[in-house]
Amino acid sequence: MKSAEGNKGTKALWRVLALLLVFVMIAAACGDDDGDDGEADDGSTASDDMDDGDMDDMDDDGHDHDDDMDDDGHDHDDDMDDMDDGDMDDMDDMGDMDGDFSAAFLYISPVGEAGWTWAHDQGRLYAEEATGIPTVFVDSIDDTSAADTEAAIRTLVADGHDVIIGTSFGYMDTMEAMADEFPDVVFEHVSGYKANETNFGNTFGKIYQPRYLTGMIAGAATETNQIGYVAAFPIPEVARGINAFTLGAQRVNPDVEVVVQWTSTWFDPAIEGDAADALLEGGADVIAMHQDTTSAGLAAEAAGARWVSYNSDMSEFAPDAYLASAIWNWGPRYAEIISSAADGSYAPGFYWGGYADGIVDIGSIADDVDSDIVAQVQDIRQQMIDGTFAVFSGPLFAQDGTQLLAEGEVMDPGMLLGEAFFVQGVVGDIG
């Protein structure tokens, strides 16, 4: 689940170009005026050398911006090259693809080396391997721009792709409309809440399950009994994760508190880092997150605190702080969608897979985590896989102490999906 925050490459470019242009034109206009005056007054254009100075300054500015841009571009470039040298050859003969069955993925950001989009791309590569059906991806498609999303999908459909998988929430409405317009193409949207009866389905997973496990590890690790949670938006998906994490922490440490800091962004390294710093200063010694960058982890690393990552195993980014991670494993699901679409058995619906389906898991666990805790985690994990463990079961109390579930009760899916509350032990406001 992501928004466009981290993905404004082209638009940022137009913005910079436009402003640059304004300044250059203003500088040029100043020159003009002097020229005109000069003609009338017998040559007292004393400001000639001034103008030169101005222009030089402008040039310098322009240069700086250019440099910045190049740098950025370069980074992405490298990432990309690493990722898909292999696929490139398959894609060269795009035009010939019409006859063959193929799938295309829509990403919100560049693939990078970890995180949301990287996890999806791992899934894509897995599916390609598993099904033998070629796939392509289009990255950096702003999901808040219906025009961009639509143009990208149209291109992919025109290229003859038979399955379009969109991996950001904001693609939902456009995918719905496109599914209507192209009934022969299967559209699968990740993280939304819409589907149709024929060719538009929805996929998501119970990431709260591994979050519960990471909560156990974090709850055992904290010495201050205060865990900071850097969270994007107060929506059910995020709240569910916070609650599951808190319940997991409380399982091993009844005194623990989870303090939530909202960032109002999915992807903003600076804001996420600041939020983590604020939590650390407030007394937290473990940081968890529902964000798409690693900066909360870097903040924890710098402060000598611990960290639980999300989306993918990010142990290499903050090796000392890293405790564990709740990770996505999209591959099997993607392989299922693509192969069922290929053999005509695809049936859209609301897929919400959990541990039993292998779509979520816990990443590597740090070596210094107590072996007893690891054993407990493994035990619960197995129960989750077997389908015998419910994270949200009674007795369950809300933040204000009211009882939500009685002993023996298990939360029904409706309540689970619409989870707009915090459980007891969470510090922070929702909505």
State which of positions 118-177 bind other proteins (CB under 8 A): 136, 138-142, 144-148, 150-152, 154-156, 158-159, 169-170, 173-174, 177
CB of 44 to other proteins, least distance (A): 5
Residues 10-29 that bind other proteins (CB under 8 A): 10-11, 13-15, 17-19, 21-22, 25-26, 28-29
Nearer of residues 3 and 309 to other proteins, judged by Cβ: 3
Residue of 2, 4, 272, 294 that binds other proteins (CB under 8 A) = 4
Residue matched to tokens 């007394």: 283
**Residues 6 or more apart from 197 whose CB is under 8 A from it?**
348
CB of 201 to other proteins, least distance (A): 17
- HSE-CB of 20 using CA atoms within 13 angstroms: 14
Q: For residue 349, what is the DSSP state?
A: -
Residues 212-241 that bind other proteins (CB under 8 A): 233-237, 239
Nearer of residues 43 and 401 to other proteins, judged by Cβ: 43
Nearer of residues 155 and 383 to other proteins, judged by Cβ: 155
Residues 29-48 that bind other proteins (CB under 8 A): 29, 31-33, 35-44, 46-48
Q: List beta partners, residue 51.
A: none
Applying CB under 8 A, the span of 6-14, 294-302, 346-354, 374-382 interacting with other proteins comes to 6-14
Applying CB under 8 A, the span of 209-217, 324-332, 360-368, 414-422 interacting with other proteins comes to 414-422
CA–CA distances in Å: residue 431 to residues 232, 262, 268: 12, 10, 20
Residues 48-77 that bind other proteins (CB under 8 A): 48-50, 52, 55, 69, 72-77
Cα–Cα nearest to 350, from 203, 226, 134: 203
Residues 329-388 that bind other proteins (CB under 8 A): none
Size of the site for other proteins (CB under 8 A): 90
Q: Which helix (DSSP H) or strand (DSSP E) does residue 203 occupy? A: strand 200-205
CB of 17 to other proteins, least distance (A): 6
Alpha helices, DSSP H only, in 316-370?
331-343
Taking the C-alpha atoms of residue 122 and residue 141, their distance in angstroms, rounded to an integer, is 18
CB of 411 to other proteins, least distance (A): 16
Residues 279-308 that bind other proteins (CB under 8 A): none
Contact 51, 31 (CB under 8 A): yes
Contact 366, 305 (CB under 8 A): no
Judged by CB under 8 A, does residue 398 bind other proteins? no
> Quick count: other Cβ atoms within 10 Å of Cβ 307?
32
Q: For residue 423, what is the DSSP state?
A: B
Helix, strand or coil for residue 362?
A: strand
Helix, strand or coil for residue 402?
A: coil
Residue of 68, 81, 100, 370 that binds other proteins (CB under 8 A) = 81
Residue matched to tokens 């910045």: 68
Cα–Cα nearest to 330, from 29, 1, 88: 1
